[in-house]
Structure 1
Amino acid sequence: MSFNKFDLNLLRVFDAMMQERSVLRASQRMCLSPTAVSHALARLRELLDDELFIRTTKGMRPTARSLAMAPLIGEAWSSLEAAIDRPKFEPRNSTRQFTIAVSDFVTMVMVPGLLALLKREAPLVNLVIRPDSWIDLVEEIDLGQIDAAIGVFSDVPARFGSTALFAYDDVLIASSSRQLGNLSLETLSNLSIAVVTLHGKDEETLGCFVSEHGLGRKSEMFDRAAFERAFSSSEQCPRLALSLPHFLALPALIEGTDLTAIVPRPLAELFVQRHPISIYELPYQTDLEEVSVICPERKSGNGPRDWLRGILTQAADPLRAFNFARPARTASPSCKQQFAVEA
């Protein structure tokens, strides 16, 4: 097969199928009949000697060959569109919809400021927020279904750009009805503690990160390594009594009870403003975790996504003002602690 004789319209069909996973929806996206899309897909299968899409009860599932081709073809179409028609992005007049993937922690501490900026600078722009857990972020970004993802990442594929937004450390929160005083390791060892784990156990786990297609993202939303070092030589470790997949329920679970929780400092500050909750400094040093935004790194440039990255950076400005000065403490690994309850 010669590329010079290849019908590039077939790749438009492929791109639509990857986006929609349905012949009918792909035909509607391209303003073609379903029959025309089916014929084009059959021709493409013949030329590439691969099924490309397999029919399942949940729609057309792409093959490994399709998943490998998708980001390259998507990039190629973006470059062609930019070369032919690259209008200047005007936020104030744009009615574009942006989709970002974030945790509930980031939603609570960043999105109110982001909405205020959008109201002032881009009042007609719409925002869709999707959870960053339980989805394949790499595939969703490659397919253009997510414009940006915000989180704590380790490895980031080279085709994605990454911009630091803010950093945080851990603190303990408890009901204001409790008086824990100056928190010591001994006091902490007698507490029942809740922690948050964002991602499922079926993913490849590397320490407190999960890895998917070259992207490592933080799974355990507390510094477990520092926690274990602090109690490595202690006879008693705190009880990690509850593991949650989100932060939203914590205030209701903590108010008026003996349960405490280890949470990011910016979120704790927000909880204190809205609930009868107190913040306590942990009696050991936790690492600063850097929250970043990742999105496709387009060589040809992309006005809307460049603007989105800038506005997200602006929305994070207040979060960079936290003072993380903490007394240094040392210890060495290994208190093995199992969750008593998982929710």
Structure 2
Amino acid sequence: MLPIDHAQLSRLDLNLLVAFDALMRERHVTRAAHRIGLGQPAMSHHLARLRELLGDELFTRAPTGVVPTPHALMLAEPVRTALACLQGVLTQRPFDPATQERHFKVSLSDGLESSLVPAFLALAASEAPGVTLSLSPLQESLGLAMLDDGALDLLVGPPLEQAPHHKLRLFCAGGYRVVFDPDAVDVDLPLSLEDFLSVPHVRVSRRADSSDAVDDALARLRLKRRVAVQTAHSLSVPHLLRGSRLLAVLPRRAALASAQAFGLSISDPPLPLTADAIVMRWHASRDADPGHRWLRETMFRAATQSGEENTAPRVTARTPPRRRRARQKVAMGLTGEPVPPSTARGATLKRKS
């Protein structure tokens, strides 16, 4: 951390940085003035002082208001982060989860929502009955901007581009599992590539070309699968699989939750699939907030409790589907997949015996 030059900072009027951030957000002098409760002449005076202080025009006139210069764009995020951190320090209050009310906004995939949030709610019910959640679908293109604007408290998903004003923590290991109804799909376990390709698939994809990691892996082998159903919603997949001769490849946690809730079987994929780990991401200004820290730690504990792997049984001969399904249920609750301690900042996913 750089040493603080108190003499230099004492000559800086903090109101100028507030005015700069308002101008960056509004791109209009009058609207920026209204935003911080000033008149238009006072805002123009602040802008003149900023130009003198920073030696740059900062904003140029345009038909719709003002346009920031490259130097202003470079300063925008550091100034916003500094103001947000200062605001957090000045308004920070102790957080007692047992007695206080707090509302958090979290964005995550529907698969994580179904597999993770129930465990979080169970912890919150006993520790923080005043905590409530708003859950929104994961939007990778908008998520980081929503963290910056305060529209989100926490973003849970694959790693995105890194920025200095974002904090992150490895949340859980990635990976995929094949899911199917054992009463409708007669295959050996672990699933062979031949069986994997012979049974039609439910594909979950939000890509513009409708492909996914499975199609990418098969393309490298110059193979294709038959897709019978295409959907963007992983929560609908177990309903589609029940009673149908179909396979689906889901992220590991969503697959485990589906298998437990719907009596489905799971298997390792018969080919290597690229899968990102899952991370929690938040704005640096929230890092020291006691309530936000409780949210992060409780989410991580929920992941620890709900992350045990339910391993599909390894059978070598074909057996009747109902018998194989019974074996599958007996096999529930075997070993988990820990996050390596070296990448989880000292925390690991626990195994259950």
Q: Same fold (TM over 0.5)?
A: yes
| Residue 50 in structure 1 maps to residue 59 in structure 2 | yes
Name the aligned partner's letter for residue 186 of structure 1.
E
**Displacement of 1:309 after TM fit?**
1.6
Name the aligned partner's letter for residue 197 of structure 2.
S
Sequence identity of aligned pairs in percent? 25
**Displacement of 1:269 after TM fit?**
2.4
For the pair shown, the structure with the greater C-alpha radius of gyration is: 2
**Cα distance between partner residues in 2 of 1:268 and 1:89:** 35
Q: Is the 8 A contact 2:168 2:282 kept in 1?
A: yes
In structure 1, the residue matched to 2:139 is 133
| Residue 190 in structure 1 maps to residue 202 in structure 2 | no
Q: Is the 8 A contact 1:193 1:259 kept in 2?
A: yes
Q: Is the 8 A contact 2:60 2:67 kept in 1?
A: no
**Cα distance between partner residues in 2 of 1:28 and 1:291:** 41
**Cα distance between partner residues in 2 of 1:300 and 1:271:** 34
| Residue 71 in structure 1 maps to residue 77 in structure 2 | yes
**Residues 1:62 and 1:199: Cα distance change in structure 2 (over 3 Å):** farther
- 5+ long unaligned stretches in structure 1: 202-218, 328-343
**Residues 1:266 and 1:91: Cα distance change in structure 2 (over 3 Å):** same
**Residues 1:50 and 1:23: Cα distance change in structure 2 (over 3 Å):** closer
**Cα distance between partner residues in 2 of 1:24 and 1:117:** 48
Query: Where do residues 1-343 of structure 1 align in structure 2 (5 Å cutoff)?
Result: 8-12=14-18, 15=21, 32=37, 36=38, 47=51, 48-50=57-59, 68-82=74-88, 84=90, 86-133=92-139, 135-153=141-159, 155-182=161-188, 183-198=191-206, 222=213, 224-229=215-220, 231-232=221-222, 237-275=224-262, 277-286=264-273, 289-297=276-284, 301-322=288-309
Q: Is the 8 A contact 1:45 1:52 kept in 2?
A: no
**Cα distance between partner residues in 2 of 1:226 and 1:55:** 49
Classify the secondary structure of the residue corresponding to 2:155. Answer: strand
**Cα distance between partner residues in 2 of 1:41 and 1:122:** 44
Q: Is the 8 A contact 2:156 2:279 kept in 1?
A: yes
Classify the secondary structure of the residue corresponding to 2:277. Answer: strand
| Aligned Cα root-mean-square deviation (Å) | 4.2
**Residues 1:104 and 1:313: Cα distance change in structure 2 (over 3 Å):** same
- 5+ long unaligned stretches in structure 2: 1-7, 52-56, 315-353
**Displacement of 1:293 after TM fit?**
0.6
How many residues are paired up? 298
**Cα distance between partner residues in 1 of 2:276 and 2:159:** 9
Name the aligned partner's letter for residue 260 of structure 2.
Q
Q: Is the 8 A contact 1:105 1:267 kept in 2?
A: yes
> Which of the pair is proportionally richer in strand?
1
TM-score by length of 1: 0.68
**Cα distance between partner residues in 2 of 1:102 and 1:185:** 31
Q: Is the 8 A contact 2:170 2:279 kept in 1?
A: yes
Q: Is the 8 A contact 2:267 2:311 kept in 1?
A: no
Q: Is the 8 A contact 1:169 1:287 kept in 2?
A: yes
TM-score by length of 2: 0.66
**Residues 1:116 and 1:195: Cα distance change in structure 2 (over 3 Å):** same
**Residues 1:288 and 1:6: Cα distance change in structure 2 (over 3 Å):** closer
**Cα distance between partner residues in 2 of 1:52 and 1:254:** 59
Classify the secondary structure of the residue corresponding to 1:270. Answer: helix
